[in-house]
Structure 1
């Protein structure tokens, strides 16, 4: 579905809401296009500024790196679609890191699949997922899930949900060890560490560019 058609349908649907629909629809339709445009302009402006700060080593790499124009265009369009709807600066900064590292390493038919996968992962992961991912990246030893205390809540299952999502992308390795018998959730007692794919993801996307 085209973005214009989707916006029209959502606006029409909001107009159907009793009492407040008309005003909400007006705010949505006027703010959506404005915010998307501003996010894209800011994203590419900040990306440009980051590249300008490169030292001679990275500048020389950027100048000689080759790309397949078709795959590079596909990646830029994919990242741009995510940036348009992403209100969180931290997520847009990660997308900026992904784009810059892609430009440094080259985008072609061999690398595009992984870069596309990383973009999809960034689009899916929440801020808490990213915080946990970075914390685990910094740990050299195995970490017991129940010992992770990052969430604003005291509910360990909130952290476990993030662990399961991160692991679904292949970014974590898990080790069960001895299972506990009785009324204990063994998933909370498993140990995890960042996989090689997870380390590459962090290096490519979650380190400040």
Structure 2
């Protein structure tokens, strides 16, 4: 039972980190949205050519690549009724691993379905918290924005520094400044967040 709970918490963390990235671009991003009989991990909207397009995001933080069988039975079967019922326009599968070749061919054949990979090295949640601290120059303000405690944010940054073996922030009294390594990481993280938030699935021209 404890192992199952740990898996659930890990999946929730992956979902919340993906939502935090999307929220930087799409403020209406919501998590655990009930649509019909399905609880969708993430829902957000985007304006395209004067119309509002509603996206659903299915988050899969699995230790192995997603297979065609899994996508067909666990994802397509859940989301097809929502798209047919016009509750969603498109669905993005966000996974920590790439998908197999036959799975990619299957996804490419479904006009409303697409896939995006988010590799958690280091953990995506740590990078999201670092981005908030670097942008706001405050542990407390970052914690408030992310809905966690400032001590948790501080601990994540410390673990990130230990993992990368560099100092990312200079802490002088109550002032925070980025080190040269911190500036470099911040540039990489913000660029990655921008690419993810601006991700546009291929639209079938037919």
TM exceeds 0.5?
no
More helix by share: 1
TM-score (norm 2): 0.31
For the pair shown, which has the larger CA radius of gyration, 1 or 2? 1
